[in-house]
């Protein structure tokens, strides 16, 4: 500080920092012993599906930090993160929306906003949370700071006092949310420049029963899978005036109606460079699609029916897990040779995978062994494990800075 000796300025700074640290426990309402003063970039959560809990983990040390309980029905739970990566917003199947403080290991806000929820998203600027609902059909918008309601977007009526179920909700550049309407076969874009009055752009007759969707990592293409027919519906967000385009007309059950034990999650597609790797529906294959033309150029035989096909952050590997009865296996594909280079056996109930931010590790939930197993992606060897009860979804805070996650 000008006019003071260095010792005096340093002392003032130290006293200010000490005062700040003393205030932190007051803000945590009696939970001071649980709160940590640290960065959040290497944190994450693991869903304990059966118990309705979330475990907060440290990916640097491979350790459990805390367990947050009483979060309702987490049978199809997903999560997004605040921009500072301190808070997780957890979407439960029972319509619950919970705001979790990862540093204090506690719930700081929770509402039950609907009767049957199927995921959510956070806006580009981090100020809004959107939740997609089966019941009542539509999307609800909340303030990220305090979970207060901001707006409601009712879905298209389908008769009998019901509205279309909404699915495939993602955030998009330009402070927008995009979602699909399962029963009415539509895709809607909601622009939230004025949060209390969303501007809607609607695309009708996109195909029968869009059941899930993804947005490409660059935020340009929104692609919805179709449960009621083969093919995919794609919307170019740079040129929405061109409408929805049908791509991969044979993607789906195809001519041979093989049993589908679990529909692939489109958010589990792998985008690696100029290629997309996607699970074939009802077939033991991973399909390779060239971006731009969006045509299938190859198929890779794999161990079973793929569910999640996920790319390592550098795009060199794709890791694949499988539906029952092959759900004890992971296969690793080299994206240059398009060959399976490893078959791993983590254990029965191998459900979800999540890469650490730069991809040196992948964490895998193994439900039936009550373990999360940690693998080195260079050696393909297991490096460790964490005892977690019936783990399912794994979400790391690096998602805070990625579109559509």
pLDDT at 145: 97
**Domain residue spans of the chain:** 113-247
- Using one digit for the tens of pLDDT, what is the confidence trace for 181-220? 999 999 999 999 999 999 999 999 999 999 888 899 899 9
Contacts 24+ apart (CB under 8 A), 233-242: 233/180, 233/187, 233/206, 233/207, 234/294, 235/178, 235/187, 235/203, 237/172, 237/173, 237/176, 237/178, 237/189, 240/189, 240/201
For residue 278, what are the β-bridge partners?
287
Mean pLDDT over all residues of the chain?
A: 88
- Using one digit for the tens of pLDDT, what is the confidence trace for 333-354? 999 999 999 999 999 999 999 9
Query: Which H or E element spans position 349?
Result: none
* DSSP3 helix / strand / coil % (the chain, rounded to 5): 10, 45, 45
Confidence band for 2, pLDDT divided at 50, 70 and 90:
very low
pLDDT at 226: 87
Quick one: 113-247 is in which CATH superfamily?
Answer: YVTN repeat-like/Quinoprotein amine dehydrogenase (2.130.10.10)
Q: Would you call 161 helix, strand, or coil by DSSP?
A: coil
Percent of the chain with pLDDT over 70: 88
- Using one digit for the tens of pLDDT, what is the confidence trace for 75-98? 889 999 999 999 999 999 999 999
Confidence band for 33, pLDDT divided at 50, 70 and 90:
very low
Confidence band for 249, pLDDT divided at 50, 70 and 90:
confident
Q: What are phi and psi of 57, to 5 degrees?
A: -125, 155
């Amino acid at each position: 500080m000008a006019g003071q000796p260095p010792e005096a300025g340093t002392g003032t700074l130290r006293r200010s920092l000490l005062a700040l640290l003393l205030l932190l426990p007051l803000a945590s309402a009696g939970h001071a012993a649980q709160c940590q003063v640290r960065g959040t970039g290497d944190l994450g959560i693991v869903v304990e599906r059966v118990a309705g809990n979330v475990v907060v983990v440290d990916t640097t040390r491979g350790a459990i930090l805390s367990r947050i309980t009483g979060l309702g029905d987490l049978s199809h739970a997903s999560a997004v993160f605040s921009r500072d990566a301190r808070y997780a917003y957890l979407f439960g199947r029972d319509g619950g929306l919970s705001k979790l403080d990862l540093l204090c290991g506690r719930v700081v806000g929770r509402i039950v906003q609907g009767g049957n929820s199927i995921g959510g998203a956070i806006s580009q600027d981090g100020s809004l949370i959107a939740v997609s609902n089966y019941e009542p059909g539509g999307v609800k918008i909340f303030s990220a700071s305090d979970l207060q309601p901001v707006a409601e977007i009712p879905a298209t009526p389908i008769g009998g006092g019901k509205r279309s179920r909404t699915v495939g909700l993602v955030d998009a550049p330009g402070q927008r949310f995009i979602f699909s309407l399962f029963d009415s076969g539509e895709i809607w874009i909601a622009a939230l420049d004025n949060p209390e009055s969303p501007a809607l752009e609607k695309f009708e007759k996109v195909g029968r029963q869009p059941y899930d969707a993804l947005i490409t990592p660059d935020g340009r293409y929104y692609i919805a899978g179709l449960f009621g027919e083969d093919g995919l519906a794609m919307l170019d967000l740079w040129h929405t005036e061109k409408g929805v385009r049908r791509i991969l007309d044979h993607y789906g059950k195809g001519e041979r109606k093989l049993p589908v034990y679990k529909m692939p999650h489109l958010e589990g597609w792998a985008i690696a460079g100029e290629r997309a790797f996607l699970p074939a529906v009802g077939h033991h294959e991973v399909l390779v699609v060239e971006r731009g033309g969006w045509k299938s150029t190859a198929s890779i035989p794999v161990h079973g029916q793929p569910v999640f096909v996920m790319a390592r952050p550098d795009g060199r590997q794709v890791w694949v897990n499988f539906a029952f009865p092959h759900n004890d296996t992971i296969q690793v594909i080299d994206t240059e040779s398009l060959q399976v280079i490893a078959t791993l056996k983590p254990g029965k109930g191998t459900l979800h995978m999540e890469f650490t931010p730069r991809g040196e590790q992948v964490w895998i939930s193994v439900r039936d062994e009550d373990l999360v197993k940690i693998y080195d992606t260079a050696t393909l060897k297991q490096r460790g494990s964490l005892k977690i009860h019936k783990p399912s979804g794994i979400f790391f805070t690096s998602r805070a800075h990625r579109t559509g996650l």
